[in-house]
Chains A and B, each alone.
Chain A
Amino acid sequence: MSSTTSGPETSSDPGSNVIRKARSSVWRGVWTDHMGRTGVIMLGFVLFIILIGPLIFPFNASAFGSSASSILQGPSRAHWMGTTELGQDVFRQFLVGGRISLYVGVSATVIAILLGTGIGLVAGYYVGWRDTILMRVTDFFLVLPTLPLIIVLAALFGQSIVVTSLVIGLTSWPQTARIIRSQVLSLRERPLVLRARSLGARDVRIMGLHILPNVAPLIFANLVLVLSGSILAQAALAFLGLGDPVQASWGTMLHNAFNSGAMSEGAWWYVLTPGIGIVVMVLAFSLVGHALDRVMNPLRRGAR
């Protein structure tokens, strides 16, 4: 804070100070954790290159190679990571493709977590018929063979990245719903809910203020799992040829590499570049997620 602005408003309002302090302590907790720090560095690196990279090295999808000699070239000064079967630059395509992978992973996760949390919360809080109906629906989604279903849905509804996000999101929520519900079932019996009820709190307030924050660490831990899963699911779909052919993700690059025989040609740069990208991104999210879970769970906060 600058020295001049510490007026009476800032010093007399404890709220904003506390929130700022809490945020910095979460950050410090993650940073002091070995896994957390590794994850943050990896994540920062990945995000940096896929968000900033394409601005510096724009990818021109129509810049095909001009001659047969420019196809599946190894790394060179002109093409840092070699070229594709069409003579395109692997490195530049890699930078753009990461954005697609991240976009699909994040939006699928948002859908899955919102659905899973909402359904788990309602089912666990209102035991009875609402719980029964919601849990049977959850069971139904849980036993569906997810990957074949995603393949069928993706084939049915087209291959745009919006459809892919929706399809992955709508099939990844049941585990979250189940976990949240089981925790809510235990929380709703605690005296703190009785106290809130006696204060006149309505169901929505009890769920939002007293139960949801208490399951937040679980949601976080789950979010990371779902996020990793979504990125991998998207890569799998794209590898199987169900990705958006116009907006090539890392999975699509692997698909193209495989189809063009890059593996047997020994064009390792074409396979390894997107492959390592996927691994590093998923691993970074996992590491940060585990560290966040450790820091944000208030019951584990003391035992650092």
Chain B
Amino acid sequence: MNVLNVHDLSVEYAMNPGVLRAVDHVSLVVESGEAVGIVGESGCGKTSLGLAIPLLLPANATIASGSIEVSGEQVVGRSEVEVNLLRWTKVAFIFQGAMNALNPLHRVDAQILEAISAHEPDVPKAVAYAKVVELLNLVGIATKRARSYPHEFSGGMRQRVMIAMALACRPALLIADEPTTALDVISQAQILNLLLELRRTQDLSLVMISHDLAAIKRVCDRIVVMYAGIVVETGTTDEVLGRSSVVASPAHPYTRALIQAHPSLRRERSLSEGLAGHPPDLSVAIQGCRFADRCPDAQSLCREVEPPTITVSPGHSATCHFALGEAS
């Protein structure tokens, strides 16, 4: 069964005046045990997509179309109380800037305890507390540190606490929004290793939102590239980013540009090539391909006709006229 089935989802923000469609008819499927990475620049709708799944969008955002099924249960249109039953038990999340999601005035064990008792009020306190300690140990925090305040922890440790909290109610799916951002490389590696291990031991499916291709490559099986609110390319990580044995074959020029912009240890030593410009303003209608203005290979066709989604190989598709090399 798919733990997550997002179909044709659109998210709109009310602007003054008009609306901004941050997520535009996006579909996303996560199978049980799978890890899916969502990459793209800032402002491409990654976080809006992530927040929409547990219905935690800010007040000025609405879901304009589509459906979201978490473990087979429809989320869109449900009441706050009903969605609350799904949150943390079926789908848990690590927010962007999660280290600041801890209340500085409460001890970390109390905050995890809050998560457990909010969803399992019948569990006796001692049992719940034992679970807190177990969870903290699971993410590599010693029992004697459980009664610390958040400010006594490093950024990486706070991130671990958030992961522990996310696992408190044994969710099937974990959505991690930029879980390694604002951490130093050592902590990043530790958090990624932890996520990998938890995937294996806790039978967890993962949606990881990041602009860090290396992090995604390490953790995820499949990758979804978002640009200006739409999915421009999706495929296995091996196909899109390459692995030691598989040569990368990104089909969309935006994916190629993202890879180019990312420094690599193995590639020839050179300054990474940046991509000029920035994503288009989504509050005005765009004709043709959304990436055409920045695309090095753009033709007149691209500026006039919106490109179709082309299947490059089974499970690998791209939204580009030239995904197969020539205009289709």
Contacts and interface: CB of A to CB of B under 8 A. Distances in A.
B136 to A, nearest CB: 15
Contacts of A302: 151
Interface residues of B, number: 26
A192 B102 contact: yes
A191 B98 contact: yes
A190 B100 contact: yes
Interface in B51-107: 54, 56, 84, 87-88, 93, 95-98, 100-107
B100 A210 contact: no
B105 A298 contact: yes
Contacts of A200: 84, 87, 118-119
B115 A199 contact: yes
Nearest to B111: A195
Nearest to A200: B84
Report, nearest first, the 10 A-B pairs whose CB atoms are least far apart: A191-B101, A200-B84, A195-B101, A213-B105, A199-B118, A191-B95, A191-B100, A192-B103, A192-B101, A191-B97
The residue in A190, A194, A210, A299 that gathers the most chain B C-beta atoms within 10 A of its C-beta is A194
Contacts of A192: 100-103
Per DSSP, are chain A's interface residues mostly helix, strand or loop, or mixed? helix
B212 interface: no
Interface of B: 54, 56, 84, 87-88, 93, 95-98, 100-107, 114-115, 118-119, 147, 149, 151, 165
Interface in A186-217: 190-192, 194-201, 209-210, 213-214
Contacts of A191: 95-98, 100-101
Contacts of A201: 118
Contacts of B106: 213
Nearest to A193: B101
B150 to A, nearest CB: 9
Interface residues of A, number: 20
A303 B104 CA distance: 16
Interface string A269-304: 000000000000000000000000000001100100
Nearest to A194: B95
A195 B119 CA distance: 14
A18 interface: yes
A246 B221 CA distance: 84
B261 to A, nearest CB: 28
26 contacts: A190-B101, A191-B96, A191-B100, A191-B101, A192-B101, A192-B103, A194-B101, A195-B95, A195-B102, A195-B165, A196-B103, A198-B54, A198-B56, A198-B88, A198-B93, A199-B87, A199-B88, A199-B114, A200-B87, A201-B118, A209-B103, A210-B103, A213-B103, A213-B106, A214-B103, A298-B104
A200 B83 CA distance: 9
A7 interface: no
A190 B106 CA distance: 15
A25 B178 CA distance: 38
Contacts of A190: 100-101
